[in-house]
Structure 1
Amino acid sequence: MAERNINININPDWIKKYLGKIVGVIFVLIILFSSVKTVGPEEEGVVIQLGEYNRTVQPGLNFILPLGIEKMFKIPVQRQLKQEFGFRTLTAGQRSDYVKTGYGDESMMLTGDLNLTDVEWVVQYRITDSYKFLFKVRNAEKTLRDMSESVMRKIVGDRTVNEVLTVGRQEIASSVEVELQKLCDEYENGIRIDQVVLQDVNPPEPVKPSFNAVNEAQQERETLINQAEADYNRVIPRARGEAEETIQLAEAYSLNRVNRAKGEAERFSALYDAYIKAPEVTKQRIYLETMEKILPKIGNKIIVDEKGNNVLPLLNIDKVKSPVQ
């Protein structure tokens, strides 16, 4: 099969004519792409001109000087950011995936009673000043990570392992948040700490069974103490109430007897005064009043004379009701 030779003749005049236009178009595109910047709705754009801070631009379409004369750094000032210690999140969602391998040095800490504990935590923060964030501290995010780890080790080192593992977790998180914010204000890094969360606190794996046994014993002790306090709160107040009731009854009985005795004494004195004034009348009245009280309490009544000759049964006298007192 015969070979064909294809000759392409390029006109030098054509090249000279269009090469300048092509280069011009490329130059214009380079200038356009290097000067037009879009800032997102959650960001601020910090513009640096020849290595020096020039201005801060707001979200939207912005223009800067091209060809490296000005550079823009986009800072997410309206977004909550976070740093994880002792673990990393691989995928976030309803069932997030985490990895811990390789990050144990961040979370392994020494407590105040010389015990080791594995503390995993999250620092949630916001950038409030993009200028300070870029220029006041070199690599502000790395500095914040170092500060967070230092503060956490200091706070954990002031407490016992039982406090860290059980009742002191919330207090530790609050203390770290306060101390970390103080450091951020001192460094003027433009960061506000929103929250510090202790994700998980565990003893080291080799001693975890022993720690779990100790925790179970402590929980059982607390349960028994709570039960004893419940029994105490149930029995002691009841006994105090019964004692108070008995005392009040005794006082009431004493007051009743004293008042009754005083009344009887006053009645006797009044009766004696009346007797002195009219002895026969008073004697007769006392006799009649006494008989009036005694006769209704006797069953069948029979009246005889002094010699016993005449007998007079009093029929139906026991059916006569005594007068109402």
Structure 2
Amino acid sequence: MIKKPNDFQNHDFYNQDFQTENKPPSKPGKFKFLLILPVLIAAGAVILSCQYTVEETEQAVVTTLGKVTSVESAGLHFKLPYPLQGVTKVAVNKTQKLQIGYSSDSEYDSYSASSIADEAKMITGDFNIVNIDFFIEWKISDPVKFLYNSDEPAQILKMVSQSSARSIIGSKNVDGVLTTEKSIIQAEIKEKIVSKLKNYDLGIQLLDVKIQDSEPPTQEVIQAFKEVETAKQEKETRINEALAYRNKTLPAAESSADKLIREAESYRESKINEAKGDVARFNAMYTEYAKNKDITKTRMYLETIEEILPGVKVYVDSSEGGVQKLLPLESFNTTFSNGGEN
């Protein structure tokens, strides 16, 4: 092993001392920044938690130490840091949909929905089983009551809706439920739900109730009701056709009747006027007759003879006493020939 000379060892030692003297001293500010950084982060988080934004469709319920102190509308707001104050946002202006009797992934797609037998099956007033699928539209009217008057207000609404629907369906017959009384049933269910919600005071406003579908539970019964419905529609068609024929024929018949009535009235007026004329003539004749009965009687007799025998010559003998008069009688041959010519 070859050892270095002493001068080389002294040189290495000198280099080490030189490096130690040239090394910069450590800065104490760097360690302070590392200590302050978590405090700054915590302070920033606290400051950010003191502000919150409420959307247009929302309201914010502010609680101070667990007690409701205010309800804020849309906009930017500030609060004390947690746990002094807390904020719960509630969608009060959003229309929500509750499905009963069926389940669908989309609120607007009911064709791909699957039926829920336990919810849909109901008994009518005439002891028939039907499947009723309907939905309820509602929204939050009071966010404080909605949050704190009950644990699950939406579930309570669903149970109330099912109970009301079963009660109303149980008072109707099966024909009305499946065909003609759906709108009436919807209105009655809505009225009953609203009445019950007032008692529960859930902070919920019911908007509408719509029956999605109502049908019997088996295919055989469904087919029978479809045939009944077809017969009813055909009946309605026949009635409409009859009404159309009546509306087409009745005006012509009424016109003909009016024409006959006018003709009859005209004939009646003519006969009445004719009778009045005859009466006036007779009264005038009677007046003249009353003045001189013999002369009027003779005149009437002669006028009648003239009407009966228009071609006969009449000679009136007005002589008195025993004076004998000769009348200019015509030849029978002449009279006969004249009659033959005529």
TM-score normalised to the size of structure 2?
0.69
CA contact (8 A) 1:87 1:98 kept: no
Q: Deviations over 1:64-122 (max 9, x none)?
A: 222333221111222222212223342466xx365433633222211111112121212
Going from structure 1 to structure 2, the CA distance change for 1:97 and 1:263 (only over 3 Å counts) comes to closer
CA contact (8 A) 2:61 2:89 kept: yes
Q: Deviations over 1:291-325 (max 9, x none)?
A: 58996xxxxx7989643466798xxxxxxxxxxxx
Aligned residues: 298
Q: CA deviation at 1:178?
A: 1.4
> Matched residues in 1 for 2:265 and 2:259: separation?
10
CA contact (8 A) 1:133 1:190 kept: yes
Name 2:285's counterpart in structure 1. Answer: 271
> Matched residues in 1 for 2:124 and 2:171: separation?
7
Name 2:324's counterpart in structure 1. Answer: none
- The SS at the match of 1:159 is coil
Name 1:135's counterpart in structure 2. Answer: 148
Q: CA deviation at 1:191?
A: 1.8
Name 1:32's counterpart in structure 2. Answer: 47
Q: CA deviation at 1:168?
A: 0.5
Name 1:198's counterpart in structure 2. Answer: 211
CA contact (8 A) 1:274 1:282 kept: no
Q: Deviations over 1:177-209 (max 9, x none)?
A: 111111222222222212111122222243322
Name 1:59's counterpart in structure 2. Answer: 74
- The SS at the match of 1:189 is coil
Q: Deviations over 1:211-257 (max 9, x none)?
A: 22333344445555666788899999999999999899889877876
CA contact (8 A) 2:97 2:107 kept: no
Going from structure 1 to structure 2, the CA distance change for 1:282 and 1:102 (only over 3 Å counts) comes to closer
> Matched residues in 2 for 1:290 and 1:183: separation?
106
Q: CA deviation at 1:159?
A: 0.4
Going from structure 1 to structure 2, the CA distance change for 1:53 and 1:290 (only over 3 Å counts) comes to farther
Which residue of 285, 307, 324 maps to 2:331? 307
Pairing 1:165-176 to 2, within 5 Å after superposition: 165-176=178-189
Going from structure 1 to structure 2, the CA distance change for 1:219 and 1:60 (only over 3 Å counts) comes to same
Query: What letter is aligned with 1:74?
Result: K
CA contact (8 A) 2:124 2:174 kept: yes
> Matched residues in 1 for 2:105 and 2:289: separation?
112
Pairing 1:10-29 to 2, within 5 Å after superposition: 16-29=31-44
Which residue of 201, 212, 218 maps to 1:188? 201
- The SS at the match of 2:163 is helix
CA RMSD of aligned residues (A): 4.4
| Mapped pair 1:71 → 2:86 | yes
In structure 1, list runs of 5 or more residues that go unmatched: 1-10, 296-300, 314-325
**Greater strand proportion:** 1
Query: What letter is aligned with 2:200?
Result: Y
Going from structure 1 to structure 2, the CA distance change for 1:286 and 1:194 (only over 3 Å counts) comes to farther
Going from structure 1 to structure 2, the CA distance change for 1:199 and 1:12 (only over 3 Å counts) comes to farther
In structure 2, list runs of 5 or more residues that go unmatched: 1-25, 314-327
Q: CA deviation at 1:39?
A: 0.6
- The SS at the match of 1:166 is helix
Name 1:41's counterpart in structure 2. Answer: 56
| Mapped pair 1:123 → 2:147 | no
CA contact (8 A) 1:37 1:63 kept: yes
TM-score normalised to the size of structure 1?
0.72
